[in-house]
Amino acid sequence: MSEVGLLTRLKDAIVNLDFDGSKRLAQEAVAKGIPPNEIITKAISSAMEEVGRKFEASEYFLSELIVAGEIGKEISQMLQPYMKGSEIKKIGKVVIGTVKGDLHDIGKNIFGMMLEAAGFEVIDLGNDVPAEAFVEAVKNHKPDIVGMSALLTVTMVEMENVIKELEKAGVREKVKVIIGGAPITEEYAKRIGADGYGKDAVVGVDICKAWVGKK
Ligand code: B12
């Protein structure tokens, strides 16, 4: 099967919530040497968009959203070993997390995996992360960069709060802040005082590399 055909079938399997078929096709894609980045953008992300559309159109309900989320998570985790960066000296440190009130973590996890593959040390605070936890992590780990993710329009406002709390704690100037997630835009990032916005994980990692002088 051609590369495009395989990725289309994988996308369809995810959209149709076929757990076993998705895993099998993802394994086949890896075995064929298709780069994990392509599997993510051309199959996982586009399938999730389609599932999101079906949810909006009331063709799918929360239970379907949950199953699609589980499949997306499992397949991204399966790809992780193929993305691992070398064990040589790290090029920088990044604290990442999905903001308070938001449980969507697939995109954040993919960003984290790609950062590691690019040679960054990643401290992942998980999802539903309150502003204080971001501040504490910056104080304790002294990262170069803070990366925040939000998938809900009601939680994206929390990103601005985190930036304000970093300012209050006197550590805002010590880190670069990058944000991402489906509802985020370049304009929003500028408005809340973030230093960068990644429309996807690949762009995000490129920005981070440029910040630490490795690109
Ligand atoms: C799977 C899913 C879920 C799963 C999440 C599982 C998990 N572990 O993540 C579950 C079932 C838990 C869920 C719950 C809900 N969901 Co939901 N969910 C989705 C869905 C279908 C896919 C999200 C996803 O994983 N996409 C794939 C990843 C790879 O894409 P991504 O996250 O955008 O990440 C990429 C980039 O954005 C970027 N990126 C992401 N973060 C970052 C960070 C940085 C720093 C950078 C640089 C880049 C970056 O890189 C990634 C890869 O390139 C979306 C639909 C959609 N179109 O997004 C709805 C969606 C986000 N959900 C939605 C809703 C409404 C909900 C619920 C409120 C439903 C409900 N009634 O309860 C709850 C909220 C729960 C909560 N408090 O968070 C709405 C949001 C609407 C809105 N405008 O706010 C959406 C858009 C669906 C829709 N079309 O209506 N959901």
Mean pLDDT of 142-158: 98
What pLDDT shows up at residue 82?
87
- Kindly give the distance from the C-alpha atom of residue 103 to the centroid of ligand 1, in angstroms, as a whole number: 8
0.95 exceeded by pTM: no
The DSSP line for 62-125 is HHHHHHHHHHHHHHHHHHGGGTPPPSS--SEEEEEEEBTT----HHHHHHHHHHHHTTEEEEE-
Mean pLDDT of 54-80: 92
Q: Which two tokens stand for residue 149?
A: 């993710």
Say what percent of the chain tops pLDDT 70: 97
Confidence at 86, pLDDT banded by 50, 70, 90: low
pLDDT tens per residue across span 10-32:
999 999 999 999 999 999 999 99
- Kindly give the distance from the C-alpha atom of residue 161 to the centroid of ligand 1, in angstroms, as a whole number: 20
CA-CA-CA-CA dihedral for 10, 12, 17, 20, to nearest 10: -30
What pLDDT shows up at residue 47?
93
Which residue among 45, 94, 151 is best mutated to probe the pocket of ligand 1, counting the most ligand atoms within 8 A of its Cβ?
151
- According to DSSP, residue 18 is labeled -
Domains, the chain, in order of start with CATH, read 3-82 (1.10.1240.10), 92-211 (3.40.50.280)
The answer on pLDDT for 110 being more than 80 is yes
- Phi, psi of 196, rounded to the nearest 5 degrees: -160, 165
